[in-house]
Structure 1
Amino acid sequence: MYPLPQWTQRADKRGLDPLGMQNSGVLLYQSLLPGISNVTLRMRYYGYYCWLSETYARKGATNDFEAWRNWVRRAEALYALVSAQAGETGVGGIDWANRRLAAAGRTIDFEMAASTDPAQERYLRQSLGVFGGAYYSQMVEMGLFTENRHGIQVATRDLGRRAATLFADAIGPDLVKLLRQKITDARVTPGDLERLEPIIPSAIAPDSAERLFYEAVLFAREEPARKSAHSRAATLALILDAASARGGWPDPEQVRWHMFDPPENALSPGLETQRPNWEAYQCQDLMQVACAALLAWAIAIINSAPHGQSLPEIRAEIVAHLAAQEEYLVSARSAYWRDIRCRIEPMTFAYQNAWRSLTSARGVVTDKAAEAINLMATLHQRIASRTDLATAVAQGLPDRGSAHSLRTEVGWLERREGEAVADLIADYMLERVVRRHSWVAMQKLRRQRDYTFLFEQRDARLVYLAAYQPVATTPRLQPAIQFLADIHLLGEDGPTPLGLAALEAMQ
């Protein structure tokens, strides 16, 4: 038995980033799609929230934050009910709304569901709903929202108020009055929900000023536009380009790989500047998945002995295995890392096959480790042979401090590439994987009180706690695709005429 200290409370949690590498990729894709996140699911929320802010200010609102929060939560609960009635998706609280409609009578009272009382069945548990949990920070990035001196979030005087006015104009004065009243009453009938259907996310009219405004904001055509907005515009154009090449609606995986390799026909200067940044992100995600596969192998080695393994024992097993599998592993007779990576043709390597293998729950852990080492060598060579990619990696990823990234790992390999593969990989796994995980898990325990260790040290031996499956990051592409569809730039057959015009404007 290994007793934990009496003064701690151990709470096991799943460590989503056990090597502290994913955050580097997250920071990079955030800079490539600012103003959109993985939880901002529909474009029209941006106009709806601006209208909520302006309406709240004009109806005699106070500076009491609780009153503002109550207004937002009621508005979100009503939006969920209207959307559920219309069969809409991507709306916060939609599961609650569907249950409420199934049990509805002649009148639906949602006052308590919109409260913050934990004893009630609330539409969402988050204190400030999806507004505070998802949309506010992204609307600040887009210049639509800010915070007043009382701590209440408000629509900005320029873009925010314009968005509010255009949303109101789009639904008309009668629905504006009905919407305002139903939020205030927190009571609605099925007939009211049908009348309010024009407010749902998919009801943006193709020829409306509201739609045109959303497009202008997304594509950085509105002033004042932040510098980061041009990065978002270039990414959205690349998504439309991917849809055009596919001739249909693209999924995020297809967009990832479309932006990975340089195109046969050169893109416009603006898009060709942005595309290598996405290539750098994809290389970063490939590297962190490869490193995670090595972590999975290290854990399997630790778990192969009933009382765990010491660091020298782990190293000896790694060296012995790689020495026995060398020709299979490197597809070359050379035992040196420099020779291995220089013999690789990085532009024809089967990256997608490696990606699917490493992120799959199936397969033998040692085979995946071999795939991971081959992938690491290929990524090293891809960066070494491509100036544009090396520049994007240097500009977008950290190489110092506590963060690890594609850049830091390739730098480590570069410094030691004259060493034999078996020794280099064994040292890498002990230093950059095993010890790294222990350090990352300790930081999470100290700072967040989360216990995410996958193995523990007991009497100078590492003892197995849990396995790990490599996980890719999710780079906001799905919401971005949906936003383009919401404003009629993208359809089932690819870019619409409006989408083609937007793409041409970016050329």
Structure 2
Amino acid sequence: MKLTTSWLKPPYASSGIDHLGTQAPCVMIYGQLLPGITNVTDRARYYSFYPWLVWSYDQRYAKDDYLHFLERFRRADCLFTLIAERHAQVTDHINERHGVAMVGRAKLVPSLASLKAGKELRLSLYATTEETSQRYFMNRLGGLSQYYAGTLAELQLMESSGRSWTFYSSQYGAPLAQNVDASVPGERFWEVVENDSVMLDDLDELSAFCACNISGSQGEHQQLIDIFFDTDNRYSEEGTQRRRSLGLIQQLAASLPNGWDLTEEVFRGCVYSLSLPDSEAWGIPDALQSTRAHWAVYVRNDLMSVAFQTILSISLQELQPQYAAQRRVFQSVEAFADWFAGSATVAGVLSDLGASSFGDLVASSRANAPALTDWTNDAHEVQLGWQLIGGWQPGVDIAPLLSQSLSLLATLIARDNPGQQPYSGLAITHEALRDYPINLISFRSRSADWQTMSLDRVVADLVVWCLDTHLRVALRKLRQSNRSTFHLRPSERGLEVVGDQVPPPSPTTPRFRQAVQILRDLGMLVRDDSHMTRLTASGRTQMEAASV
């Protein structure tokens, strides 16, 4: 019998993210509530610039030389970023209006200093596909392929097919490109691209391309509003959800009291509690109530996730002492959990909490926790979550973090409404959660079992649940991607921590910053005299339309 053998490539070691899978439901939620905007689609004008760029190329060149297209595309991508940065420098120096989050900015912005010194800037130096220190982007089609292509295809503005470089759609992409073309000096733009040489005067002549100038391009501006707010119901349920989430953000900008800015932290607190930072009720239209409630579920899941991540971090730190002489051998997760739950550190934490069982801790939280509306209070679960994130560092005293984690989880249960499904109204099925064992449904079920258990047994069960889940999630990632994201492994010497760094607890990023930036780009949000983000008159008009 003939046998063929070959070497097996070892898995690629990676620090990984979401080591417990607790963040996955959060991603599902904000993906449903803000479709068409992602964590990397930061600027509204890229939604129109990329369709224009490909359409405009087609008006000038034959489509028979892909390398020619590729080189011009990359030069144009660089030029677009340089225009925005230059416009900031000669106007108000406010980067969030002009150059922030423009593609390749870190590599391209320093080159403006040489331009100011009278030196020539060659676009090809940065647009090269070869690996150099000045290359603006590794991906062949720059920011389009890396960030925007999938989203623009979902919005029917560009084609996802790779069979041709005619990426814009004829139904929606071409009209949008034509609207852009009517308001920008396209011929001059392509002259600079072709010449491969840029001077400051060139950038100034092309300032109409700056990301801040959407409002000055009336057709483009209106079409982008129609896209993001789905004014003609083109995108069905996804368009409705996006419109309502953007409308909710605008409602908050219009409602915030003096001294409070529109930040992600403020948004989280307000949607979770239905209260403004001063604890006053946040009155929002009936049409947005379900959207607000769905965002509250997102925050609840993220708070739960941060608490469980902290338990994982604490466990890994305890398994990885600083000195070899301190190392204990544990042959199983359960053995470590029992030891940890019986340690003096845990005993001190439980004594300070003053509850003999988890049920007692929940009852104490129900009686003594700050009101739901008082979300700026340090003892509120929203603030406990931020304290866990900000308080973690290598070698940290784990006692306060363990206490805050237990308090946070108990408060979440105390606020829970058992008569309502945890993910009610959201398209999250049991099948979708199959690979993510720790979620709001399983947390509710597990906490019911904890009610009569002593707190030290609950701590042991939490540790086992976290460590077993991490092993399961890491094993699934290894099977699917050949990436090893294990931070713990069983060995002949017992449980061993993998790597030098314990992963810190972290929140998810719910596309809020990108949504706010897009609303700024559309002229619907602006900084007032005190530098707080507030609604504009045009933003109020669109907000009212989105709230019916």
Q: Could you tell me which residue of structure 2 aligns to residue 32 of structure 1?
A: 33
> Aligned partners of 1:53, 1:398: CA distance in 2, in Å?
41
What SS class does the counterpart of residue 193 from structure 1 fall into? Answer: helix
Change (3 A) 1:233 1:127: same
Q: Percent identity?
A: 21
Matched, 1:243 2:253: yes
> In the TM superposition, what whole-angstrom CA distance separates every residue of 1:244-276 from its partner, at most 9, and x where no partner exists?
122564112111212111353552232101011
The TM-score with structure 2 as length reference comes to 0.82
| Aligned-partner residue type, residue 288 of structure 1 | S
> Aligned partners of 1:80, 1:324: CA distance in 2, in Å?
56
What does 1:1-400 align with in structure 2 at a 5 Å threshold? Answer: 9=10, 12-62=13-63, 65-87=66-88, 88-104=99-115, 105=118, 107-119=120-132, 121-148=134-161, 150-152=163-165, 154-171=167-184, 175-205=185-215, 208-222=218-232, 224-247=234-257, 249-263=261-275, 264=281, 266-304=283-321, 305-311=326-332, 312-321=334-343, 322=346, 325-329=349-353, 331-333=354-356, 335=357, 337-342=358-363, 344-345=365-366, 347-348=371-372, 350-360=380-390, 361=392, 364-385=397-418, 387=420, 391-392=424-425, 395=428, 400=433
Q: Could you tell me which residue of structure 2 aligns to residue 3 of structure 1?
A: none
Q: Structure 1 unaligned runs (5+)?
A: 1-5
Q: Could you tell me which residue of structure 2 aligns to residue 464 of structure 1?
A: 497
Contact 1:34 1:141 in 2 (8 A): no
Contact 1:399 1:408 in 2 (8 A): no
Q: Structure 2 unaligned runs (5+)?
A: 1-6, 89-98, 276-280, 373-378, 529-533
Contact 1:280 1:393 in 2 (8 A): no
> Aligned partners of 1:332, 1:100: CA distance in 2, in Å?
62
Change (3 A) 1:339 1:218: same
Matched, 1:504 2:544: yes
Change (3 A) 1:177 1:249: farther
What SS class does the counterpart of residue 298 from structure 2 fall into? Answer: helix
> In the TM superposition, what whole-angstrom CA distance separates every residue of 1:115-161 from its partner, at most 9, and x where no partner exists?
21124621112222111111111222222122346153622222212
> Aligned partners of 2:24, 2:294: CA distance in 1, in Å?
16
What SS class does the counterpart of residue 469 from structure 1 fall into? Answer: coil
> Aligned partners of 2:151, 2:294: CA distance in 1, in Å?
21
Change (3 A) 1:265 1:78: closer
The TM-score with structure 1 as length reference comes to 0.89
Q: Could you tell me which residue of structure 2 aligns to residue 474 of structure 1?
A: 509
**Greater alpha carbon shift after TM alignment, 375-384 vs 487-496:** 375-384
> Aligned partners of 1:275, 1:109: CA distance in 2, in Å?
49
What SS class does the counterpart of residue 486 from structure 2 fall into? Answer: coil
Contact 1:340 1:377 in 2 (8 A): yes
| Aligned-partner residue type, residue 294 of structure 1 | I
Change (3 A) 1:201 1:287: same
> Aligned partners of 2:119, 2:174: CA distance in 1, in Å?
36
RMSD across aligned positions (CA): 2.8
> Aligned partners of 2:409, 2:380: CA distance in 1, in Å?
13
| Aligned-partner residue type, residue 314 of structure 1 | F
> Aligned partners of 1:167, 1:452: CA distance in 2, in Å?
45
> Aligned partners of 2:64, 2:411: CA distance in 1, in Å?
58
> Aligned partners of 1:162, 1:404: CA distance in 2, in Å?
47
> Aligned partners of 2:238, 2:440: CA distance in 1, in Å?
23
Change (3 A) 1:270 1:418: same
> In the TM superposition, what whole-angstrom CA distance separates every residue of 1:298-357 from its partner, at most 9, and x where no partner exists?
11221244254333431222332455543533x544x2x445435533753602321122
> In the TM superposition, what whole-angstrom CA distance separates every residue of 1:213-270 from its partner, at most 9, and x where no partner exists?
2222111104523420111111111111121122564112111212111353552232
**Greater alpha carbon shift after TM alignment, 488-497 vs 394-403:** 394-403
